[in-house]
Amino acid sequence: MLYRSFAFICLCVAFLCSSCGQRAPVHDSRFQTEDYLIDYDVSPEYVNAEGTFCRYESTYYDIIGQWILYYDAAGGQWDKLCGRAECSHEDKSCNAFVDPLTFGIQIYDHKLYWMSGSVLYCADLDGSHREQVQQLGNMDGLNPRFYIHRGYVYTSRIGTEMSDGANAYTVEVMRYELGQEETTEKCIYKEYFEYLPMYFCRFDGNQIYILVDVPQGMYGKAEKCMRNLYAYDVSEQQIEQIWSTEESWSANNIQIRDHEIYFLDLRLDFLSTEGGIVRYSQ
């Protein structure tokens, strides 16, 4: 009996020690602030460009074709981002070569990240030490995006599924713990729509804003659009709808300044160039 009790105590101690060593990012003291964290927050350049390029100091990074390129604005130089002096930079063995289905390129904690299909990769900022980080969930569909923010990877996409016996569009936002292959994915937002929606994700400290514009008809014919804005609290891990309205406009971009959200809107009529800026503040 004494032996069993001792063995049980040892197992409990081992479990507690392993749990403490794997503290979730949401509990990390570095992230308990609403201030912008330059090394751990999604940068404004990245989200405004919808993941097509990113910047670190005077160097810009981009993916063109099947190559990761860099441009040093200070020195006026550009090249393929490889980091291997002996490489010819001409074939798949080059660190700068990526798959055709690659999208998004983001800097996080002094590393460069990108996704090929549903696989997340990273490398040093000079292109060296390239490696696979983790396998994520399904990224098939329209407008696939990924964002690394305060220890988590968030993915978003427009998909298609059957709903009530009919084809429907979906907007889906998922969360994964960065670098944890076995981490269970968490869906923080998913909704079904009859018509093709548009969406944007924006990050502000421990708040994630998800805007979904849903035309009340086919694009090019719809005169109205339902606008729904959601706020996901990273610390509380809860999402709520904070705004819903009907508009004759559709968002073309979103920016956050001083915790206020600005929408760059365009009329639903594709032939119209009329636009405007709308500010939302809680």
**Positive/negative CA dihedral, 106, 173, 33, 134:** negative
Given a cut of 90, is residue 85 above it in pLDDT?
no
pLDDT-derived band at 3, boundaries 50, 70, 90: very low
Q: What is the pLDDT of residues 15-73, one digit of tens each?
A: 344 444 455 677 789 999 999 999 999 998 888 888 888 999 999 999 999 999 999 99
Q: What percent of the chain shows pLDDT beyond 90?
A: 60
Q: What span, in angstroms and rounded, lies between the C-alpha atoms of 173 and 162?
A: 18
**176 is written with which tokens?**
């994964």
Q: Residue 177 and residue 198: Cα distance in Å, rounded?
A: 26
Q: What is the 3-state secondary structure (H, E, C) of 103-157?
A: EEEEEECCEEEEEECCEEEEEECCCCCCEEEEECCCCCCEEEEEEEECCEEEEEE
Q: Which of 29-43, 70-84, 242-256 has the lowest mean pLDDT?
A: 242-256
Assigned token pair, 18: 């392993």
Measure the CA–CA gap between 121 and 128, rounded to whole angstroms. Answer: 12
Question: Does the pLDDT at position 281 exceed 90?
Answer: no
Please give the angle made by the CA atoms of 126, 119 and 69, to the nearest 5 degrees.
30
Q: What are phi and psi of 44, to 5 degrees?
A: -60, -35
pLDDT tens readout for residues 217-237: 776 677 788 999 999 999 899
Give the closest residue to 154 by CA, choosing from 228, 209, 230: 209
DSSP state of 224: -
Edge to edge, the sheet with strand 260-267 lists 249-257, 260-267, 275-280
pTM of the complete model beyond 0.85: yes
The DSSP secondary-structure symbol of 31 reads G
Specify whether the CB–CB gap between 204 and 234 falls below 8 A.
no
* The predicted structure's pLDDT at residue 219: 67
pLDDT at residue number 23:
58
